[in-house]
Amino acid sequence: MTRYVRRFSRTERTLHWANALGFFVLLASGLVLYLPSLSVLVGRRPLVKDVHFWSGIGWVSLLAAIAVLGDRRGLVRTARDVDRFGSDDVRFLLGRRPAPQGRFNAGQKLNTVLTAAFTLLFFVSGMLLWLGERDTRFRLAGTVILHDGLMYVSLLLLVGHLYLAVIHPATRHALRGITLGTVDAEWAARHHAKWTPE
């Protein structure tokens, strides 16, 4: 009989999947705007632009709403977790073992931090693109390169994330945590030894 422990709260899971949904909608509509072959295939650029813009606004608003209406104290605790890197985290990132990990391993912390930074940069550069089309004072030579570059690095991060979450045997059990909320207690003890589930 497998014993399960709670790893992710409902707020955290909602936040994760809202972020994923927003990312994929924005990626799809953004690629139609960006890749000539898709632009020609789909056409209707003004409509796709509107979809992209309003999905972006919706994405950020949704994330903010979930954070505000959800378990705020839990999120603050998680943020503190993600912020702190100890000597075991450095060992973990360097591939040295043993390197006992907390609720998040060092790679997951980095992924979270980078994803948050990219989200902010996506939003800022996207707003500048939108405003720059309306007022030249908001137009900067590097905006479109930043926005496109973020897409490339986010895709790399996403591919790594999907590999570890879905394929890699040692970590794929975590998928259960982000969908159902709970993980195998034995797996948690092995991979997140310093974490004491509540």
Which residues would be at the binding site for other proteins (CB under 8 A)? 33-37, 39-40, 43-47, 77, 80-87, 89, 102-103, 109-110, 112-114, 116-118, 120-121, 124-125, 128-129, 132-137, 139-146, 149-150, 194-195
Torsion of CA 138, 62, 45, 43, to 10 degrees: 150
Q: Shortest distance, CB of residue 169 to other proteins, whole angstroms?
A: 25
Q: Shortest distance, CB of residue 41 to other proteins, whole angstroms?
A: 10
> In terms of CB distance, is 18 or 93 closer to other proteins?
93
| Cβ neighbours of residue 52 closer than 8 Å, sequence gap 6 or more | 26, 29, 30, 33
Q: Shortest distance, CB of residue 65 to other proteins, whole angstroms?
A: 21
> In terms of CB distance, is 4 or 85 closer to other proteins?
85
> What are the Cα distances from residue 45, in Å, to 33, 127, 192?
7, 18, 47
Rounded Cα distance between 140 and 159, Å, is 30
> In terms of CB distance, is 2 or 136 closer to other proteins?
136
Q: Shortest distance, CB of residue 32 to other proteins, whole angstroms?
A: 10
> In terms of CB distance, is 2 or 198 closer to other proteins?
198
Rounded Cα distance between 187 and 175, Å, is 12
Rounded Cα distance between 55 and 37, Å, is 22
